[in-house]
Structure 1
Amino acid sequence: MTIEARLSELGIAIPAPAAPVAAYVPTVEVNGLLHISGQLPFREDGSFQKGHLGKDVSLEEGQEAAKRCAIMLIAQIKAALGGDLERVERIVKLGAFISSTSDFTDQPKVANGASELMLAVFGDAGRHARSAVGVPVLPLGAAVEIDAIVAVRPA
């Protein structure tokens, strides 16, 4: 089954990739590794998930925010690879940053929202190393931000 077919089966529509909000590029490919800048959680309706886990964002809402970041990562991958998601060899690493209170300790559970999606979409190639870090604030007040390193096949 192709990656596009898996996305369709999962009911996931890949949006247009988000434009950078500062002086950086969304992706850089070096020696077969695609480095993807941190992506923020835009809901399917285009609204933005703000807040802090442990205060005004529930664990389930945080997991959904992480999933939305992962969908935006896939959008960036697709754009960088000229639309050909079959060039993805492996999701190598995700870096998950979770805006949370000092006593919130379920960052790994939040990050699972992204990790589980990568596995569902890319199969075994979606298994990856990961960091899940709690931070006091993220750009634009985001609840979650996730970056990635992806191994890609030559065009």
Structure 2
Amino acid sequence: MTHKPNKPHPDQFDLFQEALFPVRVATATIDLDRFRSKIKRAMAQAIRECPHDRPVIAARMAQYLGLPNLSKATLDAYTAESKARHDISLVRFKAFVRATGANWLWDMIVSEDGLLVLEGDEARLAEIARLQQEQKDLVKQLKTLRSVPVVIRRHNTGGSSTS
């Protein structure tokens, strides 16, 4: 007798594995101060992880925005939690993401709304999963329909009759 390795049950999750595509639920309220701090900290992290320094990031943002320049001080204000009322606009945020290459910031922004950002081919993967779910539903429907015998009653309308 050969020993088969134990396969985990499909409902059994690995406690140490983080889901690549987590299921999210929208928060009931919007805590603007907390959200503002979260954005500023995330942008500061994006700058630390970026291969370019702050002046280069600011120059790249200015280029994307079609501005002659954007100061390093403005960039610093966007990331300083002490500057609570100096929020970045959506257009400038987009330029910041492009300038730093930190696409993960988009996902961070929408996560509290129960949303998840898919990048590139990940959307095709989601479509595959959706179609597989639809296929399972169709198989269930067919199984239900096949579970009841089909009685075919044919009426003989074209045959010869004897009198």
Structure (1 or 2) with the greater helix fraction: 2
TM-score for the superposition, normalised by structure 1: 0.24
TM-score for the superposition, normalised by structure 2: 0.23
- Largest Rg, 1 or 2: 2
Structure (1 or 2) with the greater strand fraction: 1
